[in-house]
Structure 1
Amino acid sequence: MARCDALGVAPYSDMEGGLFRAYLTPAYAAAQGRLAEWMRAAGMSVRVDPAANLIGRYEGMNGDAPALLIGSHLDSVKDGGRYDGPLGIMLGVEAVDTLHRVGKRMPFPIEVIAFGDEEGSRFPAAMLTSRAVAGVLKAEALEVVDGEGVTLEDALSLHCHASGGWHLCSPTMHEEKEMPAFAGVTQFLEARRAAPLAYLEAHIEQGPVLEAESLAVGTVTGIAAQLRYQAVVTGQANHAGTTTMPLRRDALAGAAEMLLAIERIAKDDASDLVATVGRIEALPGAPNVIPGAARFTIDIRSGDPGRRDGVARHMLAALDGIAIARGLMLSVELVHDLPASPCAPALMDIMDAALANAGQPPFRLVSGAGHDAMVMAALCPTAMLFIRCKDGVSHNPAEHVDPADAEIALQVMLGFIDRLGDSFAAD
């Protein structure tokens, strides 16, 4: 917890008075440097992969065995909380440190991985770095530009030079050998790796379920399916003072009606489904001009992919109807289609047993938020442990986790690792 707090301020944040740590920024590089020190102190060797993920490795009794990966993300949203992402990394470091201090080695290596871009903190596509590791990232996805017009390739190159060389190859960051110079953004795809034994991610719940149940931790059953769209409504910009109301083709007014329709349809479904419009923009954006265009996002999630898709079709049809009735044009682009990602049943059973051994009643819940685990499920079996957070608040400076709950999570993770070791040895 103290380490998460330490990374919540300069030089580990790119904003004053709050936390914002975007991928490949100076704050990101500084946070990697500090985290590498903690990993090394816990007995791990440290490297940075071609996607600029930081990885600490603790060798097992059999160095050729597939590794258990323990990870989460190092980046944050703007003005975010200190525990969303980093807490899972720090718990992984603490778990390895516990083993290291007593000289214990598992039958398999353990690698703690700090992913760089789960949040889409800088570029328009999220989870770039875990998708590279899982081998599901397409080359065309690398052709992205941030809000300042900087390409991913340029950002990687700048990060390389600012950090003392590609892969942060400096005496404090790399212990093995010098790595090749930055060879362009296609090198990013070389982060793909062979299938690990499993992937474990501890994360704050980002919701109120555990708190409502008076539970510190819970076993995650899977991550909800997610759709994300970018919608553009086009009308006609005109003078605000001279265009009478019947003659207007106001794109923003049409978008407002669409937003209410999205909310109504999601509520009427009366299920776990949620729909969110998190960003909206009116153009040209002048106070005395009727908006000629409006852009907004649509995020739809459900644990049931069929329900998600059916509601999405209903929503898009309703938006088309509104556009036609108002004499507007509507275009909708699918940005993300992330399938539901169930956790491995055998690993859920191991997690339940670890909870019980730590004195916690086993409890299972689904994740409505996306995590790197949903990407890693394409590579290996996954498990997730949720940790209670105050009032279910996340992506907010008010984000808070009780240190006692973090200690319980650590004990559960250690129990999970022990039981996974027993299972691995038995096989």
Structure 2
Amino acid sequence: MENYIARAEKTLARIHELAAISEDADGITRTFGTPAFLRGSALVRGWFEQAGLSTRLDSIGNVRGRLVSPNPAAKTFVIASHIDTVVNAGRFDGPLGVLLGLDLLENLREDQAVLPFHVELIAFSDEEGVRFHTTYLGSKVVAGSFDPDLLPKTDAAGISLAEAIKTMGGNPATLADDAIPADQWLGYFEAHIEQGPVLWEQNIPVALVTAIAGQRRVELTFKGMAGHAGTVPMDMRQDALAGAAELVLAVEKFGLTHKAGLVATVGKLDVRHAASNVIAGEVTCSLDLRSADATRLDAAYEALYAQADAIATRRQLSLHWHLVQHTAPVLCDAGLNALLTTAIADCGYPVVPLVSGAGHDAVPVSTVAPATMLFVRCFKGISHNPLENAELPDIAAALQVSECFLSLLFNQYQSSLSRP
């Protein structure tokens, strides 16, 4: 274990060095295509090159490093996570998986001559979707599922996604060329902090991800009639903020009632022309629904739409309901999960199966390749927050398990090649 502690220290030092690159001085913010993101990307690419990987930057800004197998029929196994962040982020969400993967490939390089398949390490450029209100831009390009209709989409400054790609040195017209063809995928592995409290509370360093919850994200707007707070009688108001407030509580109640298999959140509220002496005439809010059960997710979506519509009707408001994102639940691959289960047990840790409530780049990749994920214990389950932290012994355990998993995968694949 001492060797893994030393390797974890090197990985942790890289995580801290990358975290020092930010759009602001008071926190960690590296959103897709910004100068801070590009500096971070260049740093990571430099580490890839120092490790002896065949390295390139693709058109969406993914940093890609590759170990090439001498096997002429070799497919590609991808190890990846992302290096973009939310605003005022923690330092481990995404970079931990990338830099843990870098350690694995640094140590694999000595055995490159006997690799039974290609191994590609990818630092995805945009998983969080902060700048353009999209998700998985980087991994969708690699999986071949990028939607060109997103290219005209603009950020808060009016800059289009296509323009941002060109500023980064990419070519929007060649994004499809950066995909790994579906028949060339062998599999996908991603290590990630848990972003939940289970491992922290149980003092267990790693967990097996069995599934990733599906998501429905909605932007909805209540419109009523703005009016003077002192002159419009209470029973004659069309108060959009009161309608939105009622919906917020309805969403919370629905989530609590169905908490066994669902979470429901209103995380954003925008009151147009807000003033203390004005009845709100228009309010936009978000709705985030997540479940690993597709049927339950669909039912929740319909039920909450019905409640929002009823609130609007009762309060004489209009309702605009816009589905922003619809991601189906993903089951991790049974075969890869069996190997990862063995690796966890062989390293002496209890096997804890967990469903991820957060989305990951494994979601788009799972449409073209078998995918598996390893969760790593993090401080109190805190994420998307400067308090986010993964401790050195847990990172070392994750390295140990990941290396064992790759060894099992190599042996399995070599055995399959040797069969007549």
TM-score w.r.t. length of structure 2: 0.93
> Where does residue 336 of structure 1 map in the other structure?
325
Q: Which residue of the other structure, out of 250, 254, 258, is the alignment partner of 1:265?
A: 254
Shift of 1:209: 1.2
Q: Partner of 2:18 in structure 1?
A: 7
In 2, the alpha carbon distance for the partners of 1:254 and 1:131 equals: 37
1:189-231 Cα shifts (integer Å, max 9, x gaps):
3322213210100000000111222210011101011111110
Contact 2:271–2:280 (CA under 8 A) maintained in structure 1: yes
Give the alignment of 1:307-318 within 5 angstroms: 307-318=296-307
**Matched residues in 1 for 2:152 and 2:199: separation?**
40
CA distance in 1, matches of 2:26, 2:148: 37
Q: How far apart in 1 are the matches of 2:22 and 2:72? A: 36
Q: Residue 69 and residue 102 in structure 1: after superposition, are their counterparts in 2 closer, same or farther (change >3 A)? A: closer
Stretch of structure 1 that moved more, 17-26 or 308-317: 308-317
1:306 and 2:290 correspond: no
- Segments of structure 2 that go 5 or more residues without pairing to the other structure are 1-11
1:111-130, Cα deviation, whole Å (9 max, x unpaired): 10011110012111111121
Q: Is residue 2:230 matched to residue 1:241?
A: yes
Q: Decide which of 158, 167, 175 is 1:188's aligned counterpart.
A: 175
**Structure-2 separation of matches of 1:372 and 1:217:** 19
Q: Over aligned residue pairs, what C-alpha RMSD do you find? A: 1.4
Residue identity in the other structure for 1:292: G
Corresponding residue for 1:413?
402
SS in 1 for 2:19: coil
Structure 2 residue corresponding to 1:404, chosen from 390, 393, 400: 393
- Structure 1 residue 83: Cα displacement: 0.3
State how 1:3-152 maps to structure 2 within 5 Å: 3-9=14-20, 12-62=21-71, 64-101=73-110, 105-152=114-161
Cα deviation code 1:329-383 (max 9, x no counterpart): 1111111110111110010010011112222122211101000001100110001
The answer for the alignment partner of 1:159 in structure 2 is: 168
SS at match of 1:21: coil
Q: Distance in 2 between matches of 1:312 and 1:412?
A: 38
Partners of 2:157 and 2:112 in 1: how far apart?
48
Report matched runs for 1:179-328 at 5 Å. Answer: 182=171, 185-195=172-182, 196-328=185-317
| Partner residue in 2 for 1:178 | none
1:366-420 C-alpha deviation (Å, 9 max, x unpaired): 1010000011001100010000001000000000101110111011111111111
Stretch of structure 1 that moved more, 238-247 or 43-52: 238-247
Contact preservation (8 Å) 2:55, 2:64: yes
Give 1:171's aligned residue.
none
The residue that corresponds to 1:382 in the other structure is: 371
Whether the aligned pair in 1 keeps the contact of 2:144 and 2:181 (CA below 8 Å) is: no
Count residues in correspondence: 403
Aligned residues of 2:224 and 2:239 also touching (Cα < 8 A): yes
| CA apart distance, 1:33 | 1.0
TM-aligned CA deviation for residue 270 of structure 1? 3.5
Partner SS for 1:145 = coil
> Is 1:225–1:304's contact at 8 Å kept on the other side of the alignment?
yes
Q: Is the 8 A contact 1:258 1:319 kept in 2?
A: yes
Amino acid at match of 1:8: A
Q: CA deviation at 1:241?
A: 2.5
- After alignment, is 343-352 or 240-249 more displaced? 240-249
Percent identity, please: 39
Structure 1 residue runs of 5 or longer lacking an equivalent are 161-165, 167-181
Distance (whole Å) between structure 2 residues aligned to residue 258 and residue 241 of structure 1:
25
> Take 2:137 and 2:229, find their aligned partners in 1: how far apart are those partners?
43
Task: Confirm or deny: 8 A CA contact 2:69 2:112 kept in the other structure.
Answer: no
> In structure 2, the residue corresponding to 1:233 is in which secondary structure?
strand
2:123 match: secondary structure: strand
Rate the CA distance shift 1:133–1:296 in 2: closer, same or farther, 3 A: same
Structure 2 SS opposite 1:374: helix
Q: Which runs of at least 4 in structure 1 moved beyond 6 Å after TM superposition?
A: none
Q: CA deviation at 1:46?
A: 0.6
CA contact (8 A) 2:215 2:326 kept: yes
Residues 226, 337 of structure 1: 8 Å contact kept: yes
**Letter of the 1:130 counterpart:** S
* Structure 1 residue 104, shift from structure 2 partner: 6.5
* Counterpart amino acid of residue 348 in structure 2: G
